[in-house]
Every structure is written in structure tokens, then in C-alpha cells.
Chain A
Amino acid sequence: MTDAPVIDVRGLTKRFGDKTVVDHFDIAVPRGAIYGFLGPNGSGKTTTIRMICGLLTPDEGEGTCLGFDVRRDAARIKERVGYMTQKFSYYEDLSIRENLDFVARMYRLDRRRQRVDAALDDLGLADRQKQLAGSLSGGWKQRLALAACLLHEPDLLLLDEPTAGVDPKARRDFWDEIRRLSARGVTVLVSTHYMDEAIQCDFITYIAYGRKLIDGPSAEIPAMVGLVTYRVSGPDISKLEAELQKEDGVEQVARFGAVLHVSGTDRARLESVVERYRARGTHEWAEKKSELEEAFIYLMAGARDNFARDAA
């Protein structure tokens, strides 16, 4: 049991009308892992998550979630999964306590009062429990949503862009909590746009147009993307950045403070550009190991290009 993946689906496909939103998607998520789900808007992340937790029935494909069949046992899966939606999906006209109590009743939990009290204490909202959820700020809403989907102590957490519109401090606290849960053996599948979240994940899968492009442990992702990266520092870095972006062979220029990370997938062409600029002697050039940051930016940018080509 411990060795079997928590999520194990193959060939998952979903069509809305004639548009294929998710196209033969496979994923195997090991127990206790934090699995990052990356991809641009409209790439099918939310649809995939909904299929895994039984909210949508796949048109094709099969697999298990927590050992239950995703097609037939949706009801059993729902009992063991905590799903946090992209948009705040609790009742704004109910108080914090009423929301938690309602969720507890949906799962028919025992010791409901104690559980809700404990959740309120954990949240630090015990003294504001009568406040309406709609009056909470974005960060607090997100914490309430997390507390609500943890009430029934799920084995699997599905988080759909959980920290959109949340300030950085709240986001850090949120991720501390996610890592604590993961350490306790809760498996987490999280979709995100943010690099600082992506680098927190043990595994990353990248999806665009409903197709999986890359999947693997975070540490191996840069190698899979195959970027060659140079670090450039020196004076007048903005001007250089603009110049480099026009160069053939330079596929990505990312700025990190006063330095540029210049990357490309074709080593020979990138190096010829680097040689020319080095010859000027104005800047310092050094090859560096490609990190997840560059890979992330590369993937996100590539997806935008795909979009443009698709539209044309």
C-alpha cells in the first residue's frame, strides 16, 4: 500500500464540444510527495484536477486515486480528498464558524464541535469566528479554505492555484503548512503559476494544451529542458538585455537583480553569440548550471508562443 502511487492515471482525456482540453494525460504521484502542476492558463490543469477527484468524468482513460477507480468510485474518493478550488468557494454570507461547521456536516464528521474549535484555534480565528467569511481579506480567505478542506483529515490534497492574489508573507506561511502536511504523509498536488511555488515541489509536471510535456523530480527538470545558461554581469545591463533579446540563438534572457541569465537550447549557436559579446570586454560572462528558475521561465514563455501559433 505504501508503495502504490496515491494518484495513478493513464490516458485521461476530456473534451468540451470539439475542443480537447486534456489529451491523454498520465501521472503517478507517490505518497507524501508535493507534486507541482505547471502550465499556462487554459492548459487543462483545473480540468485534470477535477477529473482526478471525481468532479468530472473523463471521456477516455482510467486509473486510480487513493486506490479507488476514478470513474466508478468518485464518491469514495471525495471522502478522502481535500480539494481547494481556484476561486474562494465557501459561503461569503456565512460566518467563519458556520462555514467550517457546514463542511464538517457534509463529511458527516464525528466530534464536530471539537474539530471546528480546533480548526478555528489553528487558524487563529477563534475570536473572529462570528465574522462573515465575505469580510475576510484574500489571505485569510485562503487560510479558511485550507482549514475547511483539511477538516476531514484527507490523505490527498488537491490545490488549484491556491495562492493567487495572496501576499508573499501569507504565501510563505501557506507553504510551511503544506510542507508540514507532506511530512505527515499527506500527498499534495498543487497547480501554480508562480516560480517560488514551483521550486517548493518535489516533482513537477508541465502541461500545455492538455498535453503533458515534461514530468519528473524537480532536480531533473532543468536537464530535461536542456538549457545552456550564461550569467552576465556588468554596467548598463538593461541596454544589454534589449540587445541580447534580438540575437539568434538566445532564447531567453532573464534578469535577476543586476545580473542576466542568458539561455538557449542550442549550445553551439548560443556560444557563438557569447563569444562575440565577450570580445567586447564590457561584461563578465560565465557559464552556470541551469536551475529550475530558468527552466520555469523557459517553459512558461514557450507556452505563450504556442498560444500565438495556435491563434494564427
Chain B
Amino acid sequence: MKFSFARLFAVLAKEFIQMRRDRITFGMMIGLPIAQLLLFGYIINSDARHLPTLIELNDSGPLVRSIISGMQISEYFDIQGTAAGVDSGEQALRDGSASFVVVFPRDFERDIVRGLKPTLLVTADASDPSAVGGAVGALNGIVSRAMAEIFSGPLARLAPSPPPFEVAVHKLYNPEGSTSTNIVPGLLAIILSMTLVMMTAVAIVKETERGTMEMLIATPVRPLEVMLGKIVPYVFVGYVQTVVFLLAGLTLFGVPFEGSWWAFFVGFNLFIVVNLALGFLISAAARSQMQAMQLSMFTILPSVLLSGFLFPFAAMPGWAQIIGSAVPATHFLRVVRTVMLKGGDIGDVAGEMWALVAILIVISVVAMLRYRQTLD
């Protein structure tokens, strides 16, 4: 018995009809990427601005006023008012009405002029370190700029001597440090692995669970025809999602696309195939749609947490990096960021591509071993 394209197309056509009728799933395919893109793109911003701040003023000279206005101009701090003492400042931090309390000590200016190095006490609500990190970093610059302004002209001799060197930070690839530029390309990896793994896994298990698989294998259809017929539609889904994603990413978020389209194309096709193989493996192991869903979630979590999507890969402990390296999303994420943001071409991402190929081979071998050709 030979492979029949007619039968393959019959399975394909059936799968598309079912996909069209299942409104919720269909909506998920298109709606999920858009919803995630908007959520992650607009809402998540690790460079938090406009943090509520209280000032405890024990001195009120021109330098203090200059520092305060510098803080306001920086946009990091939203000065809400003054705190009437240590207690009220602490209370505000505890109930969340302030993220910062800045205490200007008594005789702050006089001590500076005398060269006594007074302490400017900044109390921060560091329960969310990433929220306050940017603001704390900005504060040093604000203070020294304010001092330079005040101690100019005849007062210049009062200015603290500048440090003997200057650090020039040159932000490459994402000069504005915009979070969405980093998150949005990474999101493609998450969206594709989420929907494709789950849908492939569920689509195949569904046939077993509803008993239609028994009818199918009682006909002369070959297993390969069924498998291809069931998987290929989701390749199209992956394409549609990628197009939706690229359109939104490039227009709404102004994410650049600097590198080679060819490298991107090869990378995302490879990644789609890896995900389908993973979904196929899950469907071979799962007994019910519920199990397939749960197993899919199991693969999605590492994709989000260990791939470098949300947290920098280099900051993870060694063992987590090893696990993360086995996650396909890790490598695709690097491909997408390298190509879109850094202008990489296929040579720059070859290592990641080979890693994906290696993962694909392992998954396929395991899936083939697990796959039951008959009902045995």
C-alpha cells in the first residue's frame, strides 16, 4: 500500500473544517497572540517611572530645591509631598502610598560646603527590586548634575572634585532601553510554543479520546497520512500567528527588524517543527485531552521562565542554564533577538539553529518510540 496524497488531503480538509467550527480554539489561535502582544508590549515595563515619592525636608536651600526639581524632571520620581518625620515616611512605605522617601538631613548644604560628605538618605520600597532599580540608578546622576549647576562660576571651587574617569555607557541595539523592544520579539517564541504544542497535542489525543481514531485505523488510511494531515494545519496556524505578530510588532511597537529575513524564516520554520514534534510526543504519551493540556503547560513554563524571555539567561544559576539550554524557546528567542534587534544573519545564529536541530532529533526519536501504530 502506497502513501496516498488523496487521503492526506482528505485528512487535511477535515482538520480545517473542524478547526473552523471550533470557534474558541480558532479564536485562541488569532486572539492569543494579539492579547499577549498587547499585554506584554504595553503593560510590562521593567523600567518603572513615576514612582510616588515623599520628601522629608530638614534643609531647604537652593541645592535641595535643585535636586528635587531634577528628580521631578527625570520622570522616575513623582513627588507627592513632604513627610513629617521618620514615622510618617515609614508608614507611607508600608501602606504603599510611597515607593521612596528621600531625607535631606539638617544642614545638608552647609555640610557639603564644609566638605563633610553628608548623607542623603533614600529609603526605597525594594519589595519589587526591578521597580525601584532604575530610579535608584538615576538618582546619583541627578544629584551630581544638580551640584554642578549650583557650584558653578565663582562657587566652582566648592564643587566636589570630579571622579578621575568617566564611564561612557553606549546602549547598543536598544538605545532607549525600551522593554517592549526586548519583550516583543521574545514573545513570538512564547506564543508559538504555547499554541502549537498544545494544539497539536490535543488534536491527536482528541481522536483517541472520542474513539474516532479506531474508525480511522479501521480504514485503509496509513498512520503517516493521518499524522501529516493532522500536523500540517498547525504549521499554517504558526504562519498566521507569525504574520499577525510581525505586523503588530513592527507597526504598534516599532520593533526594528534589522537582520536577515532569510535567517528569520529558517529559524521560525525550524522552531514550528520542533514544537509540533513536541506536541506529537505529548499526544503519544497522554491518554486524555486533559492530560495533554497539563503536559503542554509543563513544557510552557520552562519556555517562559528559563528561556531568558522574562529574566536574563546569564543571571540564572548554572543548573538552570543547563535546563534552559534544553528548552527550544531559549534558542529561538536568541535567533529572533539576534536577527530582529542586532541585525544578525544566518551565520550569527547558526549555533542556535543547530541546537534546535539537535532538540528536534531527540524529541522525534522519543516520539517515534512512543507512538502506537495500532491500538496495541
A residues in contact (CB < 8 Å) with B: 50, 53, 55-57, 75, 78-79, 81, 83, 85, 87-94, 98, 102-103, 105-108, 132
12 A–B pairs (Cβ distance < 8 Å), ordered by A: A50-B375, A53-B218, A55-B214, A55-B374, A83-B218, A85-B211, A93-B17, A94-B17, A98-B17, A102-B10, A107-B220, A108-B4
Residue B167, interface by CB 8 Å: no
Residue B219, interface by CB 8 Å: yes
Per-position 1/0 for B2-16, Cβ under 8 A of A: 001011001000100
The prevalent SS among residues of A at the interface is: loop
B residues contacting the other copy or chain, number (CB 8 A):
24
CA distance A50 to B217 in the complex (A): 11
| Chain A neighbourhood of B17, CB < 8 A | 93-94, 98
| Chain B neighbourhood of A103, CB < 8 A | 219
Return B376 CB to nearest CB of chain A, in Å.
6
State whether B212 touches A106 (Cβ < 8 A).
no
B residues in contact (CB < 8 Å) with A: 1, 4, 6-7, 10, 14, 17-18, 21-22, 210-212, 214-221, 374-376
| Chain A neighbourhood of B211, CB < 8 A | 85, 87-89
Among A50, A91, A92, A107, residue most surrounded by chain B Cβ atoms (within 10 Å): A91
A55-B374, A56-B376, A75-B1 as given contacts; A94 in contact with B14, CB under 8 Å? yes
CA distance A88 to B218 in the complex (A): 14
Return B4 CB to nearest CB of chain A, in Å.
6
State whether B18 touches A91 (Cβ < 8 A).
yes
A90-B215, A91-B212 as given contacts; A102 in contact with B374, CB under 8 Å? no
CA distance A57 to B214 in the complex (A): 14
Return B21 CB to nearest CB of chain A, in Å.
5
Identify 17 new A-B residue pairs, CB closer than 8 A, beyond the known A85-B214, A105-B7, A108-B6: A50-B375, A55-B218, A55-B374, A55-B375, A56-B375, A57-B374, A75-B220, A78-B218, A83-B215, A85-B211, A88-B211, A89-B210, A89-B212, A102-B10, A102-B14, A103-B219, A106-B220
State whether A106 touches B219 (Cβ < 8 A).
yes
State whether A93 touches B212 (Cβ < 8 A).
no
CA distance A108 to B22 in the complex (A): 27
| Chain A neighbourhood of B217, CB < 8 A | 55
| Chain A neighbourhood of B220, CB < 8 A | 75, 78-79, 106-108
Return A52 CB to nearest CB of chain B, in Å.
11
State whether A56 touches B374 (Cβ < 8 A).
yes
CA distance A216 to B122 in the complex (A): 96
CA distance A195 to B220 in the complex (A): 34
| Chain B neighbourhood of A132, CB < 8 A | 21
CA distance A75 to B3 in the complex (A): 12
| Chain A neighbourhood of B215, CB < 8 A | 83, 85, 89-90
CA distance A277 to B273 in the complex (A): 79
Return B368 CB to nearest CB of chain A, in Å.
18
State whether A107 touches B219 (Cβ < 8 A).
yes
Among A56, A87, A88, A105, residue most surrounded by chain B Cβ atoms (within 10 Å): A105
State whether A105 touches B374 (Cβ < 8 A).
no
CA distance A103 to B210 in the complex (A): 17
| Chain A neighbourhood of B376, CB < 8 A | 56-57
Return A88 CB to nearest CB of chain B, in Å.
7
For the complex of A and B, the 9 pairs showing the least CB-CB separation, nearest first, are A105-B10, A89-B215, A106-B219, A83-B218, A89-B211, A87-B211, A75-B1, A78-B220, A106-B221
State whether B216 touches A106 (Cβ < 8 A).
yes
State whether B22 touches A93 (Cβ < 8 A).
yes
| Chain A neighbourhood of B22, CB < 8 A | 93
